[in-house]
Amino acid sequence: MMNSMFRMHQPLLLSPQEGVFAHRTFKTSIIEKTADRLLVSVPYYNGKVVLLPRNTPVKVEIPLKQVFFSEISKKTAFGEYQCLELALPYQLLKKDKLKTPRIITVTSGKGGAGKSTLLINLAIALSQQGLRVCIVDCDLGTSNIDVLLNLHARYTIQDVIEGKKNIFDILLEGPCKTVIAPGSSGFPPLTSISEAQAQKVINSLGKLEPYTDIILLDTGPGVSNNVMFFNQLVDEIITVTTPEPHSITDTYAALKVLVDLKNVPFLWLVINKTEGQEEADSVAARIMSAAERFLSLNIKYLGHVMEDIHVSKSVRRLTPCLLRFPNSEASQCYKDIAENFSMTKQQVTPAKPHFRRLKRILPIS
């Protein structure tokens, strides 16, 4: 299907969404398709080349076959042809209907525990193992994955939840082939997701499933309604805590709320900003034994991340630690966590995962 859709010389309509040519439509044709790019001939209008600057958002239509939104990534040449290069959207890339992705939230009792930095570095380490990883920023209102990765989001998960955009319209390419569904900050956050909005989130995750091996959801701290909504959608939760006493008590308080979920997802624990393995192991042992004794909750220790100045340095430089300082102590920890995580693949019921999630939160029998 892919090849027949992207035949050489296949006519194609290009409609810039911004700039002087906004919403005019130009005829062009396909010159070449690579794994993730499409080269198209430069369009002409009244005998003159239409100059479309880099980063111009465009609607691309392959008549009767496909419509998608993309961006001019650059002007280039292919043999004698002058071309424009367009990034192919994610839905046209690698698809595998048979696999079910692992869907995970990263949560913490307290803000600043290190959820977003762990999630980003874990995503990159997993992607480096060859897995197809998607990050969905569900920290509604105070999201920052796009900022931490220096990406410029036009549309966000809030547009999807409000029904204005399709999940595929908002996806951005992150580092190391990760795919990012950015969140929105600065907008008034949704106080509590309605049933119709919940349905949209679940449908969106369902749409991403064939294209991903791992979907990581970032959430806000604590146990607000929204955070708990995302927590009950997933199969696994990674809880991040620091060794500080108030962080530990807040983690315990969050676990107390999690235990009341209809189906408690598989729980992982990560100790972040630790002085060393010994401290991390003893904090983890305390939390796990309290959870087991008082809440009958089984938590598995996934690993620790050293307190390391390279993490905050890389945050300031808007590049993930694993890429900026691959040999730092923290980066080694992120890699170990990713290794542990992918070694312990959870047994997920293969039948209709999308429906399973729906059943978890909606009152259907």
Q: Of 105 and 108, which has the nearer Cβ to ligand ADP?
A: 108
Q: Quick one: which segment of 24-32, 108-116, 209-217, 256-264 binds Mg ion (CB under 5 A)?
A: 108-116
In contact, 235 and 102? CB cutoff 8 Å: yes
Please report how close the Cβ of residue 183 comes to ligand ADP at its closest, in angstroms: 12
Residue with Cβ nearer ligand ADP (289 or 312):
312
308 binds, options Mg ion, ligand ADP, none, Cβ within 5 to 8 A by partner type: ligand ADP
Taking CB under 6 A as the criterion, which residues in 236-295 touch ligand ADP? 272-273
Q: Kindly state whether residue 159 participates in binding ligand ADP, applying the rule CB under 6 A.
A: no
CA distances, 23 to each of 17, 20, 48, 170, 292 (Å): 5, 9, 18, 19, 60
Minimum gap (Å) between residue 330 Cβ and ligand ADP? 5
State the minimum distance, in angstroms, from the CB of residue 305 to ligand ADP. 4
Please write down the long-range contacts of 316-324, taking CB distance under 8 Å and 24 or more positions apart. Answer: 318/147, 318/148, 318/149, 318/150, 319/150, 319/175, 320/117, 320/120, 320/121, 320/124, 320/148, 320/149, 320/175, 321/117, 321/121, 322/121, 322/124, 322/125, 323/124, 323/175, 323/176
String of contacts with ligand ADP for each residue 301-330, x by CB under 6 A: ----x-xx--xx--x--------------x
Q: Which range binds ligand ADP by CB under 6 A, 57-65, 70-78, 107-115, 335-343?
A: 107-115
Residue 148 vs 170, nearer CB to Mg ion: 148
Residue indicated by tokens 């620091």: 242
Query: Cβ closer to ligand ADP: 53 or 112?
Result: 112
Taking CB under 5 A as the criterion, the residue among 41, 105, 108, 116 binding Mg ion is 116
CA neighbours closer than 13 Å in the CB half-sphere of residue 341: 33
DSSP letters of 93-113? S---TT---EEEEEE-SSTTS
Task: Give the span between the Cα atoms of 105 and 122, in whole angstroms.
Answer: 12
Count other C-beta atoms under 10 Å from residue 339's C-beta.
14
Nearer to Mg ion, 102 or 115 (CB): 115
Sequential DSSP letters for 177-200: G-EEE---BSSPPPSS--HHHHHH
Q: Is 242 in the site for Mg ion (CB under 5 A)?
A: no
What residue ranges bind ligand ADP (CB under 6 A)?
108, 111-117, 272-273, 305, 307-308, 311-312, 315, 330
Which chain residues interact with Mg ion by CB under 5 A? Answer: 115-116
